[in-house]
Copies of this chain bind each other. A is one copy, B any other.
Amino acid sequence: MSTLQPIRVTVWGEFRHEKNNPEVTAIYPDGIHEAIAAFLRPNADFSVRTAWLDQAENGLPQDLLDQTDVLVWWGHMAHREVSDEVVARAKSRVLEGMGLIALHSGHYAKIFKALMGTTCSLKWRESTDKERLWNIAPAHPITQGIGEYFEIPAEEMYGEPFGIPTPDELLFISWFTGGEVFRSGATWQRGHGRVFYFRPGHETYPTYYHPQVQQVITNAVRWARPTVCIPDACPNAAALEPLPEDPAAAVRPTQGFR
């Protein structure tokens, strides 16, 4: 295992609230993406870059995506400004093997919705709820080092029903003070890529400084590492066994099965 290349992580941030809202700037002065990158970088097996919306090509040119093993995504107010071309290339990369970790309001990111095929809608409330995340899959690689549950003292509420396809694996269910529940950690295989959605992370709370939130995202990066890179193909294939030579009897149109 010692010869493994580092996992090339790109943390993508929208980086708007952090510039426009002093309350958010105070918490994340360098942006949410940099706060996430900061706790990932000390891992010797990670190689971490950041990118953001207002860069050229929304920060995600083809060559950067080609050199990304796991893409971490935080967006909220400007999902529509991510170009369809960038979304298409990121989706192709996931389908050929790249991992994707969608955080919090990333449930509504174009890339996440395109991979799920559903509305990804939910119930929400900007409030003072406590969130308690119950670990319902303690043997999963993403939940290692997390106890039975952990609490975030104040968070935005997201509630069911959550408009996602049935997850391949459900890892966390959240309890909120205000009376709601939410499937707050879930995985899906899409093509050859692994996708993880993780709920916490409203911009007005210091959620990404929470040790267990950091542990989950760190674990998820390792879990989402690609095993293969298989570009899309729809090949015409020769037969491997002898075929019947004359199926003419079958093709007599309307009498075939009568």
Report B-chain residues with C-beta under 8 Å of the C-beta of A179. Answer: 132, 175, 239-241
Cβ-closest chain B residue relative to A235: B123
Query: In the complex, which residue of chain B has the Cβ closest to the Cβ of A249?
Result: B153
The answer for the CA separation of A97 and B159 in the assembled complex, in Å, is 21
List 8 additional A-B contacts (Cβ < 8 Å) besides A160-B173, A178-B240. Answer: A28-B253, A119-B232, A129-B243, A129-B244, A180-B240, A205-B251, A206-B250, A210-B256
Q: Nearest chain-B residue to A122 (Cβ)?
A: B234
Give Cα A69 to B226, complex, Å.
25
**Chain A interfacial residues counted at CB < 8 A:** 101
Report whether B141 and A251 are in contact in the complex, using a CB–CB cutoff of 8 Å. Answer: no
B239 touches A206 (CB 8 A): no
Q: Tell me the minimal C-beta distance from A230 to chain B in angstroms.
A: 6
Question: Given A139-B227, A192-B138, A243-B178, are A209 and B254 neighbors across the interface (CB < 8 Å)?
Answer: yes
For the complex formed, measure the closest distance between the CB of A242 and the CB atoms of chain B, giving whole angstroms: 8
Interface residues of A in 157-184 (CB under 8 A from B): 157, 159-163, 165-166, 168-170, 173-181, 183
Interface code A83-124, partner B: CB below 8 Å = 1, 0 otherwise? 000000000000101000000000010000011111101111
Question: CA separation between A168 and B241, bound complex, in Å?
Answer: 31
B181 touches A174 (CB 8 A): yes
* Residues of A in contact with B (beta carbons under 8 Å apart): 1-2, 4, 26-28, 95, 97, 108, 114-119, 121-125, 127-130, 132, 134-141, 144, 148, 152-154, 157, 159-163, 165-166, 168-170, 173-181, 183, 188-194, 204-206, 209-211, 226-228, 230, 232-247, 249-254, 256-258
Q: Across the interface, do A125 and B238 meet the contact criterion of CB distance under 8 Å?
A: yes
A141 (CB) vs chain B CBs: closest residue: B227
Residues of B within 8 A of A257 (CB): 206, 209-211
Chain B residues with Cβ below 8 Å from A138 are 161, 192, 228, 230
For A125, the closest partner residue in chain B by CB is B237
With a cutoff of 8 Å between Cβ atoms, the chain B residues found around residue A228 in the complex are 138-139, 144
Cβ-defined contact, A178 with B251, below 8 A = no
